[in-house]
A and B are shown apart, each in its own frame.
Chain A
């Protein structure tokens, strides 16, 4: 065991850092820095996506055969770490890491050739259609349904909590397929054109004010048969594959480090304005958060770096990382709210927060409350903290998953 970078790893890291220094504009980095929600605004991430794609780095997690970099987990780690610490816009996970692997594994050649290059270039922006009003943690309860109508299908129903559904041009969705009623063959995994007739999107106002979530309605939406991924009725396996892959190799700790650095800088610049006992209390709270990040970073590195291509980490490790990432992020934004004191009452409603030119400390103070509010969602989306506990309990109690 040796956590020092080899000469080759250092060289790779410098190459990435040089590229970022030459190609990441201050505008894009500022836009990421000022992001208060989960994802940066699509024009921001798409612009960076296009820059990376021109360099051949658009899809760091994909194999070379599909136009990816074919990087090892170690190279991806170094790449993500450098990107995160420079505040490079967050690449769009839903497109690159959720739907793309499903297309690679189960898609037809036509589907792969049509969609994968457009994900890599940033041209297509996908959203996820899993949850429904009556199917949250219990995905099997979903009701949206597909009906066979000659050589095509017709979709009715609704999807909810659709992140960036209002800007995405494509959705992948898990729906009930009424024509396939044998046991275990009741769901289909489909592609929905968000601009198709019968698709409507309604924003959901959330406590952090950012418009990220939507409800999507399907009213007799025609789904051509080439928009089914795999076989009709065989969608559940694809959904499981996607969920298993969901956390198969992102390095969340790298982003958390960047947020933590912002928090520490803000704390430092506010230190002179507060009594010394409050300052030392703040420093110990920072230490406690940093230690959680240190632990998370080691756990993430140890879970992801040894993975062979296509291999996923254990469900326990995956849930552990999800749980602790959410917790650490909430701890960061929580301390930020405490630090800004009376400024917490100021209520800004424009998103993204417009720059004021008052310097980084002022900007971080303005971000504190929106982030704190938005971060409540961290322990709810993609499997609540309670669901993660249930999953981990099966490992701890030595039961079958």
Chain B
């Protein structure tokens, strides 16, 4: 058992710290993700990646969260690469090199909440597939392809749709955390089949666990930043002639926030290790467990950061509210506390 980061992992963290320190959160950070080689971190070496894992992606995501950068890193680096690597044929896997170099972004469609909008696939005369139904696409901007699940002849298939083919049917709208989402009603949109095998849905489930774990890492960094900012504020804000940092009741609350960061980091690490096959824990259960605790912790840690900043915390200018919005957005992308608490409990032995 080796419980410390390797030299390479330490270097990765250090370079992520450096890079995110320089980044302007209002500017497009994607080219930098590609330049640093982070998009191919978890991708096989033969396919243009560096053959590492979820753990390394988490190291990057934590710094991203600390810096308040929002980007479809988890989706591309650990979910899209994983799905295409496992389900694509040789030719389909070739686009992975473009994912790794940042020139092609992939998005994942979510099924519509309305069962009437369920996506169905039918074979066209030309032998390819046509999709019909409603989809939601988080993180849509700049995406070149979208992964869509659709029912086909009694089974579920995983398809790849070109974003270009959604022209005219795609509506875009702003999401809570500043990202853009898309909504589309497909009526015979051409799609490429990745896989219709029964294993395909378990690959998607695993991809979701990987995505969720990296999101947890981002939230750990976000919470860590909240502890720093709250501590710094309490040290400088003077009331009744003394810095607020001298008040025991406030000190203890910041300690509780810091404890939540440590526990969240531990559970995220646990999930990443399991997903990478570096520990014997049940990976699905560990990933759901991380979502349960980290998602909830991130919520109250940012809520407390607002509370401890007083009226300042409530202002748009201070920017803590933006973090709370990211937490809400992220928790909704993972599926959230209740869904994963139920799954964690169901997977108990």
Q: Across the interface, which residues of B come within 8 angstroms of A288, CB to CB?
A: 292, 341
A249 to chain B, nearest CB (A): 14
Q: Are A397 and B278 in contact (CB under 8 A)?
A: no
Q: Are A397 and B231 in contact (CB under 8 A)?
A: yes
Please tell me which stretch of A139-147, A166-174, A295-303, A360-368 contacts chain B, meaning at least 4 of its Cβ atoms lie within 8 angstroms of it. A295-303
Q: Across the interface, which residues of B come within 8 angstroms of A305, CB to CB?
A: 1, 3
Residue of B with least CB distance to A73: B3
Interface residue? A113 (CB, 8 A):
no
Q: Across the interface, which residues of B come within 8 angstroms of A295, CB to CB?
A: 262-264, 266-267, 270, 293
A305 to B1, CA, bound (A): 9
Q: Are B252 and A389 in contact (CB under 8 A)?
A: yes
A288 to B337, CA, bound (A): 11
Q: Across the interface, which residues of B come within 8 angstroms of A283, CB to CB?
A: 345-346, 348
Interface residue? A350 (CB, 8 A):
no
Interface residue? B193 (CB, 8 A):
no
Quick one: which of B1, B5, B255 contacts A74, CB cutoff 8 A? B1
Q: Are B1 and A9 in contact (CB under 8 A)?
A: yes
Q: Across the interface, which residues of B come within 8 angstroms of A74, CB to CB?
A: 1
Kindly supply a per-residue 1/0 record for chain B positions 38-56, scoring 1 wherever the CB is within 8 Å of any chain A CB and 0 otherwise. 0000000000000000010
Range of interface residues on A (Cβ < 8 Å): 35 or more
Interface residue? B259 (CB, 8 A):
yes
Q: Are A287 and B345 in contact (CB under 8 A)?
A: yes
Interface residue? A356 (CB, 8 A):
no
Quick one: which of A291, A292, A299, A392 contacts B258, CB cutoff 8 A? A392
Residue of B with least CB distance to A327: B259
Within 1-49 of B, Cβ neighbours of A (below 8 Å) are at 1-6, 9
Interface residue? A182 (CB, 8 A):
no
Within 289-333 of A, Cβ neighbours of B (below 8 Å) are at 290-292, 294-296, 298-299, 301-302, 305-306, 320, 323-324
Q: Beyond A287-B348, A389-B252, A390-B248, is A4–B280 a contact (Cβ under 8 Å)?
A: yes
Interface residue? A348 (CB, 8 A):
no
Q: Are B267 and A294 in contact (CB under 8 A)?
A: yes
Q: Are A397 and B245 in contact (CB under 8 A)?
A: yes
**Dominant SS among interface residues on chain B:** helix
Quick one: which of A2, A292, A301, A393 contacts B263, CB cutoff 8 A? A292
Q: Across the interface, which residues of B come within 8 angstroms of A397, CB to CB?
A: 231, 234-235, 245, 251, 254
Within 227-262 of B, Cβ neighbours of A (below 8 Å) are at 227, 231, 234-235, 245, 248, 251-252, 254-256, 258-259, 262
Quick one: which of B254, B256, B279, B341 contacts A4, CB cutoff 8 A? B279
B329 to chain A, nearest CB (A): 23
Interface residue? B269 (CB, 8 A):
yes
Residue of B with least CB distance to A386: B252
Q: Across the interface, which residues of B come within 8 angstroms of A225, CB to CB?
A: none
A18 to chain B, nearest CB (A): 20
- Count contacts between A and B, CB distance < 8 Å: 120
Q: Across the interface, which residues of A come within 8 angstroms of B280, CB to CB?
A: 3-4
Q: Number of residues in B with C-beta < 8 Å to the partner?
A: 43
Q: Across the interface, which residues of B come within 8 angstroms of A14, CB to CB?
A: none
Kindly supply a per-residue 1/0 record for chain B positions 48-87, scoring 1 wherever the CB is within 8 Å of any chain A CB and 0 otherwise. 0000000100000000000000000000000000000000
A271 to B16, CA, bound (A): 49
Q: Are B263 and A299 in contact (CB under 8 A)?
A: yes
Q: Are A284 and B255 in contact (CB under 8 A)?
A: no
Q: Across the interface, which residues of A come within 8 angstroms of B252, CB to CB?
A: 386, 389-390, 393
Kindly supply a per-residue 1/0 record for chain A positions 64-89, scoring 1 wherever the CB is within 8 Å of any chain B CB and 0 otherwise. 00000000001000000000000000
Interface residue? B123 (CB, 8 A):
no
Q: Across the interface, which residues of B come within 8 angstroms of A264, CB to CB?
A: 348
Q: Across the interface, which residues of B come within 8 angstroms of A4, CB to CB?
A: 1, 278-280
Within 372-388 of A, Cβ neighbours of B (below 8 Å) are at 386
Q: Across the interface, which residues of B come within 8 angstroms of A298, CB to CB?
A: 266-267, 269-270
Q: Across the interface, which residues of A come within 8 angstroms of B1, CB to CB?
A: 2-6, 9, 74, 301, 305
A91 to B279, CA, bound (A): 29
Residue of A with least CB distance to B243: A397
A2 to B341, CA, bound (A): 27
Q: Across the interface, which residues of B come within 8 angstroms of A6, CB to CB?
A: 1
Most buried by B among A5, A292, A294: A294
User: Please, could you name 29 A-B residue pairs with CB atoms under 8 Å apart, sorted by A?
Assistant: A1-B3, A1-B9, A1-B278, A2-B1, A2-B273, A3-B2, A3-B279, A4-B278, A4-B280, A5-B1, A6-B1, A284-B341, A287-B344, A291-B293, A294-B281, A294-B286, A295-B267, A295-B270, A298-B267, A299-B263, A320-B262, A386-B252, A389-B256, A390-B251, A392-B255, A396-B231, A396-B254, A396-B258, A397-B254
Besides A283-B345, A284-B342, A295-B266, 15 other A-B contacts (C-beta < 8 A): A1-B5, A2-B273, A2-B278, A4-B280, A287-B341, A294-B267, A294-B289, A296-B263, A301-B1, A305-B3, A323-B259, A389-B255, A393-B255, A397-B231, A397-B254
Q: What 6 pairs across the A-B complex have the smallest Cβ distances?
A: A3-B279, A298-B266, A393-B251, A295-B263, A283-B345, A295-B266
Residues of chain A touching chain B, judged by Cβ–Cβ distance below 8 Å, are 1-6, 9, 74, 264, 280, 283-284, 286-288, 290-292, 294-296, 298-299, 301-302, 305-306, 320, 323-324, 386, 389-390, 392-393, 396-398
Residues of chain B touching chain A, judged by Cβ–Cβ distance below 8 Å, are 1-6, 9, 55, 227, 231, 234-235, 245, 248, 251-252, 254-256, 258-259, 262-264, 266-267, 269-270, 273, 278-281, 286, 289, 292-293, 341-342, 344-346, 348
